[in-house]
Chain A
Amino acid sequence: MSESLATLIFAVLVVAASLISVELAISISIIEIVAGVIGGNFLGLHTVPWLEFLASLGSIVLTFLAGAEVDTDSMRKKLKESLLIGGFSLMVPFIGAWAFAYYVVHWSLRASLIAGIALSTTSLAVVYAVLVETGLNTTAIGQIIMASCFVTDFGTALALNVIFSELSWKTLLFVVLSALAIYLAPKVTPWLFKRYSERVVEPEIKFIFLSLFFFMFLGAFSGSHAVLPAFIFGLVLSPIFNRHPVVQRKLRIVAFAILTPAFFIKAGFSVSLRDIYLSLAPLVGFLVVKLVAKGIGVYPYARRYVPQDATFTTLLMSTGLTFGTISSTYGLSAGIINRGQFSVLVTVVLLSAVLPTFVAQRWFQPKVVFNGGLRPGAVTDESGRGKGEGE
Chain B
Amino acid sequence: MFKRILVGMDTSEAAGRAFDVALDLAEKYGAEMRALFAVALPEYGATVGEVEEVRNEGRKIIAPVLEQAMAKARRKNVPCEARVYPGHPAETLINYAAQEQCDLVVVGRRGSSPAKRFLLGSVSTRVTQYAPCHVLVVK
- Which secondary structure dominates chain A's binding surface? helix
Fill in one digit per residue for B93-109: 1 if any A CB lies within 8 Å of its CB, else 0.
00110011000000000
Considering the complex, which residues of chain B in the window 65-82 have a beta carbon less than 8 Å from any beta carbon of chain A? 66-67, 70, 74, 79, 81-82
In the complex, chain B residues whose CB is within 8 Å of the CB of A382: 84-86
B47 in the interface (beta carbon within 8 A) = yes
In the complex with contacts A69-B48, A357-B43, A369-B99, A379-B116 CB distance below 8 A: no
In the complex with contacts A24-B119, A376-B79, A381-B59, A69-B49 CB distance below 8 A: yes
**Bound Cα distance from A128 to B52, whole angstroms:** 9
In the complex, chain B residues whose CB is within 8 Å of the CB of A69: 47-49
Interface size on B, residues (CB 8 A): 40
In the complex, chain A residues whose CB is within 8 Å of the CB of B53: 249, 252, 256
**Distance to closest chain A CB from B56 (angstroms):** 9
A354 in the interface (beta carbon within 8 A) = yes
Given B45, B81, B95, B100, which contacts A129 in the complex, CB threshold below 8 Å?
A: B45
A187 in the interface (beta carbon within 8 A) = no
In the complex with contacts A370-B95, A385-B85, A65-B47 CB distance below 8 A: yes
A353 in the interface (beta carbon within 8 A) = yes
B87 touches A368 (CB 8 A): yes
In the complex with contacts A370-B95, A379-B66, A129-B85 CB distance below 8 A: no
B46 touches A27 (CB 8 A): yes
Residue of A nearest to B48 (CB): A69
B44 touches A126 (CB 8 A): yes
Considering the complex, which residues of chain A in the window 320-334 have a beta carbon less than 8 Å from any beta carbon of chain B? 321-322, 325
**Distance to closest chain B CB from A349 (angstroms):** 11
A125 touches B48 (CB 8 A): yes
In the complex with contacts A369-B99, A381-B85, A25-B120 CB distance below 8 A: yes
B115 in the interface (beta carbon within 8 A) = yes
**Bound Cα distance from A125 to B46, whole angstroms:** 5
Given B47, B66, B83, B92, which contacts A372 in the complex, CB threshold below 8 Å?
A: B83
Given B42, B49, B85, which contacts A65 in the complex, CB threshold below 8 Å?
A: B49
Fill in one digit per residue for A321-364: 1 if any B CB lies within 8 Å of its CB, else 0.
11001000000000000000000000000000110010000000
In the complex with contacts A24-B116, A25-B40, A132-B55, A125-B47 CB distance below 8 A: yes
Given B79, B81, B92, which contacts A375 in the complex, CB threshold below 8 Å?
A: B81
Residue of B nearest to A376 (CB): B81
**Distance to closest chain B CB from A221 (angstroms):** 28
A293 in the interface (beta carbon within 8 A) = no
Considering the complex, which residues of chain B in the window 85-139 have a beta carbon less than 8 Å from any beta carbon of chain A? 85-88, 92, 95-96, 99-100, 113, 115-116, 119-120
In the complex with contacts A128-B51, A354-B44, A380-B115 CB distance below 8 A: no
**Distance to closest chain A CB from B58 (angstroms):** 10
B44 touches A357 (CB 8 A): yes
Given A132, A249, A264, which contacts B46 in the complex, CB threshold below 8 Å?
A: A264
> B47, B55, B82, B120 — which one has the most chain A CB atoms within 10 A of its CB?
B47
**Bound Cα distance from A197 to B74, whole angstroms:** 41
**Bound Cα distance from A381 to B96, whole angstroms:** 13
Residue of A nearest to B88 (CB): A133
**Distance to closest chain A CB from B60 (angstroms):** 11
Residue of A nearest to B63 (CB): A379
A21 in the interface (beta carbon within 8 A) = yes
**Distance to closest chain A CB from B68 (angstroms):** 11
Residue of B nearest to A249 (CB): B53
Task: Give A contacts to B, CB under 8 Å.
Answer: 21, 23-30, 62, 65-66, 69, 123-126, 128-129, 132-133, 248-249, 252, 255-256, 260, 264, 319, 321-322, 325, 353-354, 357, 368-370, 372, 374-382, 385
What 3 A-B pairs come out closest when comparing CB atoms?
Answer: A29-B46, A25-B40, A125-B45
